[in-house]
């Protein structure tokens, strides 16, 4: 499943790729890229990219991630006001409720939920919202920095000093989540309220744990920075597959171009 610069307005290159991996029978990841078609709406809303990694079994995980990305797009599109941050928070809250409502109507899918990471680029400002352990990275001048914080058991151990950060990526319990859309009464959403200034040449990398769990950050940076977004997505998925592809693999790359 590949997306590549589908009617994307000037100023950015976008590509995304998802693969079932080597050890799963189905793909419970979902992702999308969206922007309004009208110029006035585009100026107000900017560009939206979303990635989600479902959990809860074959159908439950697929439905949870699908509901998340579709709901975030729909709610963000129709949200009133001019704050991307507020609109993303509203979108995540609505997605959380819709997933829970779906599970109530389908008791066999009890326990369904999903990670979700969404970004908005409006002008040269980046906003994002995040729940779970899918990740958003910023690559600038051959340096990669993670903008999101994993909502996971191991992340808490790192923050408390029990586990070293360099050991966290290989910890056997690193996939145990402490927050997800659809799980729990309320969901705490991380995000960038004020926006982050982007520069020409910046690359934004969004991925599920099927990629970052087997490909270290220095390799993520080289593959994403040394290729076009389309080539970079293909290279990154290939790396994950070479490492055994133990989970579904999904990645989106967005490269900031010169304003036209």
- C-alpha–C-alpha distance, residues 220 and 233, integer Å: 10
Q: Which residue has the tokens 């995000």?
A: 191
What CATH number was assigned to the domain covering residues 2-146+179-256?
A: 3.60.40.10
Q: What is the pLDDT of residue 64?
A: 96
One pLDDT digit (tens) per residue for the chain, 260 residues: 556 556 789 999 999 999 999 998 899 999 999 999 888 999 999 999 999 999 976 688 999 999 999 999 999 999 998 899 999 999 999 999 999 999 999 998 888 999 999 999 999 999 999 999 999 999 999 999 999 998 765 555 555 655 555 545 664 555 667 779 998 888 889 988 789 999 999 999 999 999 999 999 999 999 999 899 999 999 999 999 999 999 999 999 999 998 65
Q: Are strands 190-191 and 135-140 parallel, antiparallel or unpaired?
A: unpaired
Q: What is the pLDDT of residue 110?
A: 85
- C-alpha–C-alpha distance, residues 168 and 180, integer Å: 19
Q: Which residue has the tokens 């779970």?
A: 132
Q: Are 177 and 155 in contact (CB under 8 A)?
A: no
Using alpha carbons, select from 250, 115, 140, 117 the residue that is nearest to residue 204: 140
Q: What is the pLDDT of residue 27?
A: 94
Q: What is the pLDDT of residue 94?
A: 97
Q: What is the pLDDT of residue 153?
A: 55
Q: What is the pLDDT of residue 174?
A: 58
Q: Are 248 and 27 in contact (CB under 8 A)?
A: yes
Please name the residues in contact with 239: beta carbons below 8 A apart, sequence gap of 6 or more: 214, 215, 219, 223
Q: What is the mean pLDDT of the chain?
A: 89
- C-alpha–C-alpha distance, residues 200 and 203, integer Å: 9
Q: What is the pLDDT of residue 226?
A: 86
Per domain, the residue ranges of the chain are 2-146+179-256
Segment (H or E) for 14: strand 12-19
- C-alpha–C-alpha distance, residues 87 and 41, integer Å: 14
E strands, 132-202, in order: 135-140, 143-146, 190-191, 196-197
**Structure tokens that stand for 76 in this block:** 């963000």
Using alpha carbons, select from 145, 114, 109, 97 the residue that is nearest to residue 51: 114
Q: What is the pLDDT of residue 179?
A: 79
* Total residue count of the chain as it appears in this document: 260
Q: What is the pLDDT of residue 241?
A: 97
**Structure tokens that stand for 199 in this block:** 């520069």
**Alpha-helix runs per DSSP H in 48-152:** 58-78, 84-105
């Amino acid at each position: 499943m590949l997306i590549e610069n589908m009617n994307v307005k000037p100023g950015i290159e976008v590509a995304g790729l998802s693969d079932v991996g080597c050890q799963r029978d189905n793909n419970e990841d979902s992702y999308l890229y969206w922007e309004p078609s009208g110029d006035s709406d585009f100026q107000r809303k900017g560009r939206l990219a979303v990635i989600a990694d479902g959990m809860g079994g074959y159908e439950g995980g697929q439905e949870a991630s699908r509901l998340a990305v579709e709901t975030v797009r729909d709610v963000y599109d129709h949200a009133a006001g001019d704050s991307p941050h507020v609109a993303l928070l509203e979108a995540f809250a609505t997605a959380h409720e819709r997933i829970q409502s779906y599970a109530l109507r389908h008791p066999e899918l009890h326990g369904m939920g999903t990670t979700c990471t969404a970004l908005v680029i409006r002008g040269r400002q980046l906003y994002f919202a995040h729940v779970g352990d899918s990740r958003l990275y910023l690559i600038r001048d051959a340096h990669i920095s993670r903008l999101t914080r994993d909502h996971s058991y191991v992340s808490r151990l790192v923050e408390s000093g029990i586990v070293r950060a360099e050991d966290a990526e290989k910890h056997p319990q690193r996939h145990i989540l402490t927050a997800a859309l659809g799980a729990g009464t309320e969901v705490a959403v991380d995000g960038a309220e004020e926006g982050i200034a982007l520069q020409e040449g910046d690359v934004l990398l969004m991925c599920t744990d099927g990629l970052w769990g087997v490909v270290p950050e220095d390799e993520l940076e080289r593959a994403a920075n040394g290729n076009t977004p389309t080539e970079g997505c293909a290279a990154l998925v290939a790396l994950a597959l070479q490492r055994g592809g133990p989970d579904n693999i999904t990645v989106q790359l967005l490269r900031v171009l010169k304003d036209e």
